[in-house]
Amino acid sequence: MSRLQESLERREFVVTGEIGPPKGVDIESTLEEASHLRGRVVAINVTDNQSSVMRIGSLGVCIRLLQEGYEPIFQVTCRDRNRLALQSDILSAYILGVRNILTLTGDHPTLGDHPQSKPVFDLDSVSLLMAITSLMEGKDLAGKELDGRPSDLFPGATVTPGADPPEPQLIKMEKKIEAGAKFFQTQAIYDPEVFEKFMNHASRFGVPILAGIVLIKSPAMARYMNENVPGVFVPDSIVKPLSEVSRKDRAKKSIELMAGLIRELKPMCQGVHIMAMGWERYVPELLNACGL
């Protein structure tokens, strides 16, 4: 059983982090980013060709994190691999010591740096969860018996609490749970009232939910997210204070704002998932500021 699973099953308030693999084989900066999270997060997500940009594979970086003493969460998207490769990669991850899997459908390749690449999408996040459940039970998607099963995988999924309307997200969330999701990390959320309304419905599922926080570095970043990331909205209560400070004071102001947000969200969920986007060095200060 993974430490993430143990912590969530004990009903602890859990903090997870995230790192993005580099575009190349020099991962020293990635390991440096992870070092700021050591001892402060239970597990670290490793993104899988995030935003359809080609990078080192998530699995390889997960193994390096294991070697360095971290607990990884292997992000798996359905964009680039068919069901043969997805099942094979999950079994490979298991024999190498990875237990936590986060399932994602994935962004379309036209959004990334290889727009001419052919999308696969043989499975989506729900059917990938079904595949993982089947593997854990000892059979592949073709119904063939496995020679040894990965019985203690801990699969999770994502949900967007800021989607409007929220009903489609709740319907898909329920499907993901039925398919085998044991925990959820949300897309970024910045409005506690919106999150509370979402949790009023989602809490009935009885599955741990970790609220996602992308650290806002600047007003321009906030505007970009508002214009380009569906279901995510950064309100003026965050944008305006960041606009009123100098560039050198933005990190301090951002930490102050994000800490206040986490304190408001904490009573509503079982954890937070912090996506620092290159600001991993500020994560300890942020967690100290909100008492975590």
What pLDDT sits at residue 130?
Answer: 98
What pLDDT sits at residue 138?
Answer: 98
What pLDDT sits at residue 193?
Answer: 96
Q: Contact 40/287 with Cβ under 8 angstroms?
A: yes
Q: Contact 2/99 with Cβ under 8 angstroms?
A: yes
**Rounded alpha-carbon distances, angstroms, from residue 224 to 88, 103, 216, 230, 232:** 37, 25, 11, 11, 10
What pLDDT sits at residue 197?
Answer: 97
Q: Is 239 exposed, middle or buried (0-12, 13-18, 19+ CB in 10 A)?
A: buried
Residues 6-48 pLDDT 10s: 999 999 999 999 999 999 999 999 999 999 999 999 999 999 9
- Mean pLDDT within 183-211: 97
What pLDDT sits at residue 83?
Answer: 98
Q: Is 222 exposed, middle or buried (0-12, 13-18, 19+ CB in 10 A)?
A: buried
Mode of pairing for the β-strands spanning 43-46 and 183-188: unpaired
Residues 37-54 pLDDT 10s: 999 999 999 999 999 999
Task: Supply the CATH number for residue 218's domain.
Answer: 3.20.20.220
Is the CA virtual torsion 102, 223, 33, 273 positive or negative? negative
pLDDT grade, residue 244 (50/70/90)? very high
pLDDT grade, residue 205 (50/70/90)? very high
The three state secondary structure string of the chain is: CCHHHHHHHCCCCEEEEEECCCCCCCCHHHHHHHHCCCCCCCEEEECCCHHHCCCCCHHHHHHHHHHCCCCEEEEEECCCCCHHHHHHHHHHHHHCCCCEEEEECCCCHHHCCCCCCCCCCCCCHHHHHHHHHHHHCCECCCCCECCCCCCCCEEEEEECCCCCCCHHHHHHHHHHHHHCCCEEEEEECCCHHHHHHHHHHHHHHCCCEEEEEECCCCHHHHHHHHHHCCCCCCCHHHHHHHHCCCHHHHHHHHHHHHHHHHHHHHHHCCEEEEECCCCHHHHHHHHHHCCC
- The phi and psi torsions of 110 (rounded to 5 degrees) equal -65, -15
What pLDDT sits at residue 290?
Answer: 93
pLDDT grade, residue 3 (50/70/90)? very high
Residues 118-137 pLDDT 10s: 999 999 999 999 999 999 99
User: What amino acid occupies position 106?
Assistant: G
**Rounded alpha-carbon distances, angstroms, from residue 168 to 90, 165, 211, 257, 286:** 28, 7, 18, 30, 33
What pLDDT sits at residue 220?
Answer: 95
CA distance 95 to 110: 34
What pLDDT sits at residue 78?
Answer: 98
What pLDDT sits at residue 128?
Answer: 98
Count of domains forming the chain: 1
Residue 124: which domain range? 3-289
